[in-house]
Every structure is written in structure tokens, then in C-alpha cells.
Amino acid sequence: MKESIIERSYYTEKIRSYIGQPIIKILTGQRRIGKSCILRQLMDIIRGMDSDANIIYINKELKEFREILTDDDLYQAITSQLDKSKSNYVFVDEIQEIPSFQHTLRSLLAEGSCDIYCTGSNANMLSGELATYLAGRYMEFPIHSLSYKEFLLFHQLEDSNQSLQKYFRIGGMPYLIHFKGDEQLCFDYLQNLYSTILLKDVIARKQIRNVDFMERLVGYIADNVGSLFSASSISKYIKSQRQQLPTQMVIDYSTALSQAYFIYKVPRADVQGLKIFEIGEKYYFEDLGIRNAIRGFDPLTEIQKWMENVVYLQLIRQGYTVYVGKVDNLEIDFVGQRLQERIYVQVSFRLDGENTKNREVASLLKTMDNFPKYIVTLDEFALGTTAEGIRIIHLRDFLMKE
């Protein structure tokens, strides 16, 4: 049965500009985030542009391609299907499953015989040898879970506080639309997806030996979304649980989770010059639904965590490099940098008193520049613009911004 595909135009339009360009297009992101569907949408766009296009598709997750085990196998599989009388387009899904695949990609690019598109579920594929071997020859397009705006489209919902709460609970994994709103089925799926990501993309790939500690680490991060901590503080917590584990193991294991696009580490930086502090960072999840499936949730106690997580994801979707800002002895939840642009964002569940409002405003006023400054809240009675030009905006409105 052919699966209907909802277009994710935010991504396809960004990549469309590079169709036919002599550069490798690599879509990266967590497993099951929707990269394969975007590849198929790109194929349809190309067919619309060139009805005679020769499209070669290889998906390492499908049985028919299981005999492609090396970069030589990959090269042979592709070149055997090239048609010199047509424009050739090559799509390889989950390319990190093929060792040394970069050799094939570089050769094909040098030969100029095809336009190349790939997906990958591990950030390590774009570091080290690959980054050196293909430097200047590829463009990375990070793919994320559904934005709130996409979530409304996929689930056929109106923008409302109820829809936002649902987005908080089940998150933005695209496949959830098949469960037609049944949250128990959604969480069953998300728990299984978490197990798959942990097993295939973290434990097996990084040859993790202490699986129990890895699961404890994920649980600790899930409990402390948006909290400032360090590898040493996590190590101390684990020791309090009567386990003796070195700080370096915490660093290695959290790095493995980040490389699977499962969590994001957000460093602290001094607002003046964005100097990075070596100690202290915050962690956020690629998908809140998976985080909730791991740990459960209580809306009364976790709403601030949810708000920060979705604001962070919205900023990185928009192409910002994000930091936790520090100015004097005050903190700004997020400082986003994009080329010459900058944005400052404080996140506060409610602003139901002058003291609370003044506290959120104080750090923003210390930035001493004219870049946009926001306080994102769910307090519908506090919205507006302060005398200093700080916009107090509802979270739903912030998430609907392009």
C-alpha cells in the first residue's frame, strides 16, 4: 500500500535551490525523523522538473540492498544503473551503514555523472575523516521533528492551547499521524523508537558496554531538561546512586547520544563576544514525545521544561546557533546567532507579578544592543511590548513564526 506523504516544504524548498548543483546534499537527523519521506518528495520534485530523469534509489534499511556492504559495492550498484543519455540522480538512504562510503561519493562527484543526495542518522559521519575527505563538497541539511506549525498540519488541528498541550505531550515524530490521536498507541510507538535509537544508533555503533549506566544517564537528562549541569555533576549524582563511574565516561556517553541527534548540548556563553564557558551546559531533546515516553510527565511540574525545549527546537530549525547566555551574574535562556543576526529569548510560564516580570526583563536589558529581545510565555494577560522594546509574546505565536 502506498503511503500518502505530507510535504515538508520548509525543507524541500531549501534543498530545491541545490538541485543539479555539483555538491553532495546530505540530510541529517534522528532516526524516523522523516528524512526518507523528504528524499521521496525531492524525487517527485525532480520528476516534475525532468520527466526523463534517471533516479537511482538505495535504502540500506531495505532487504533488497543488504548485499551492499562496502564502498566498492556501493560504487558498482550506482554506476551499473547510470544512463549517459539522461540526467542521473542518486539517492542513498542511511548511508552511514556503508563503511567508507565517502570514497564512492567523492569519486562520483569528481566524475560528474550524477546529482547526489544522502541521509544519515549519526553526526559522526560528518566529522573526522569524512569532513576532511569531502570538505567543501557537501551541504548538510539538518532535519528535525515536526515544528508546531507542521504538527497542526499533520494532525489536522487548529492552533489552540489544547493543540499546544498535545504537542507538548506526544511531540513531533511524523509517524504518529497513523495513530489518529490515540495517545497510548503513540507512547507505545515512542518507547519502541527510543529502544531502537539507543540500541542501533548509540549502543551498537559506539560499542557501549555499560548499558545500565547509559539508561540511567538518559533518565537523568530527561529529569533535568533545561537545568544547568556538567559532566562532573552527573558523575557525582551517579556516585550518590552507589555507582563509581569516571567523569570521562559521562562525557563519552553524552556525546554518543548527541551524535545520534537524540539530545542537544547547549553551551553557556558570555553575551559580550559569545565566549564559551568550559563548564556548565543545558540539554534538550530532539523530540519531547520520546522524552515523555522515557520518563512520564506531570504537566503541573514540567511545563517550564517543555516550553524551553520547544523554543530551543524552534530556534535551531530556523538556523540559529544557540547558546545559554550569561551577562554579569544573570542568565538569558537562549541567545541565537545566525550570520550577523542575533536574538535573545527568555522563557517564562507566567508573568503574574512585577517581581517576576522585572527578573525576566533585567538580563535582557543588560545586553546593551538593538537585537530583538523576547519573553515567551503562556500568560495571555501579560502580552505586549515593554517601554524598553522587549516583546512579550505567547508561545503559540512564537512557534508559528517562520
- Same domain? For 191 and 298 the reply is yes
- Same domain? For 199 and 80 the reply is no
Q: What is the DSSP letter of 202?
A: I
- Rounded Cα gap, residues 13 and 399, in angstroms: 20
* Residue finishing a domain among 109, 124, 142: 142
Tell me what the mean pLDDT of segment 37-66 comes to.
95
- Same domain? For 188 and 327 the reply is yes
CA dist list (Å): 13 to 8, 23, 45, 128: 9, 17, 10, 29
What pTM did the predictor assign?
A: 0.93
Q: In the beta sheet, which residues pair with residue 346?
A: 375
> If pLDDT is split at 50, 70 and 90, which confidence band does 391 have?
very high
| 292 found inside a domain | yes
The CATH number given to whatever domain includes residue 124 is 3.40.50.300
- Same domain? For 123 and 216 the reply is no
pLDDT at 398 (0 to 100): 98
- Same domain? For 122 and 260 the reply is no
- Same domain? For 164 and 264 the reply is yes
Give the structural domain span for 127.
9-142
| 157 found inside a domain | yes
> If pLDDT is split at 50, 70 and 90, which confidence band does 1 have?
very low
- Same domain? For 334 and 283 the reply is yes
What would the pLDDT profile of 299-331 be if each residue is shown by its tens digit? 888 999 999 999 999 999 999 999 999 998 899
| 93 found inside a domain | yes
- Same domain? For 128 and 159 the reply is no
What would the pLDDT profile of 264-297 be if each residue is shown by its tens digit? 999 999 988 778 876 789 999 999 999 999 988 8
pLDDT at 4 (0 to 100): 62
| 3 found inside a domain | no
- Same domain? For 263 and 176 the reply is yes
- Same domain? For 196 and 345 the reply is yes
- Same domain? For 173 and 115 the reply is no
- Same domain? For 255 and 236 the reply is yes
CA dist list (Å): 351 to 31, 67, 355, 377, 399: 38, 59, 9, 8, 19
| 1 found inside a domain | no
Q: In the beta sheet, which residues pair with residue 322?
A: 336
Residue 181 carries which side chain, given as an amino acid letter? Answer: G
* Residue finishing a domain among 78, 111, 142: 142
What would the pLDDT profile of 61-94 be if each residue is shown by its tens digit? 888 999 999 999 999 999 999 999 999 999 999 9
